[in-house]
């Protein structure tokens, strides 16, 4: 049974909080992908949330440009998973795909503000 650690960021006040999800709530996240907007009520949150990233139990980060949810060795020149020290530096690193699987441990989400449509009255 999957258990996830959910890191919820609030852009209004710039703070984040950590939530442990039980089996029932975590099942709704399996198969979702990075940049997907989902309803927060399934996770016990108000409004909508956007999945922004995550990692597995070994700390291997998820990248949104890799398909699937498995580990892959790719050559990186920057971005998530590699921070180059010199100009032009590239390195082969292991990263995970953008899909949430049972191997995922931590999921990062951000709260979305609902913009209310103002009708003419």
- The C-alpha angle 111, 17, 9, rounded to 5 degrees, equals 30
pTM score, whole prediction:
0.85
Segment 57-102, tens digit of pLDDT: 999 999 999 999 999 999 999 999 999 999 999 999 999 999 999 9
Residue 15 confidence (pLDDT) above 80: yes
Distance CA 7, CA 5 (A): 7
* Mode of pairing for the β-strands spanning 104-112 and 4-10: parallel
- The pLDDT confidence band at residue 114, using thresholds 50, 70 and 90, is low
How far apart are alpha carbons 60 and 54 in whole angstroms? 9
Contacts of 116 (CB under 8 A, 6+ apart): none
Q: H or E segment at 25? A: helix 23-27
DSSP code for 115: P
3-state secondary structure of 35: coil
């Amino acid at each position: 049974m999957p258990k996830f650690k959910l890191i919820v960021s609030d852009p209004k006040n710039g703070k984040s909080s950590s939530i442990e999800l039980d089996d029932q709530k975590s099942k709704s996240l399996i198969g979702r992908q990075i940049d997907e907007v989902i309803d927060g009520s399934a996770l016990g949150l108000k409004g909508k949330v956007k999945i922004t990233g995550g990692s597995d139990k070994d700390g291997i980060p998820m990248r949104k440009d890799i398909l699937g949810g498995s580990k892959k060795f790719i050559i990186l020149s920057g971005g998530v998973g590699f921070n180059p020290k010199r100009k032009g530096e590239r390195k082969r690193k292991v990263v995970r795909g953008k899909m949430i699987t049972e191997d995922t441990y931590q999921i990062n989400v951000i709260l979305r503000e609902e913009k209310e449509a103002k009708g003419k009255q």
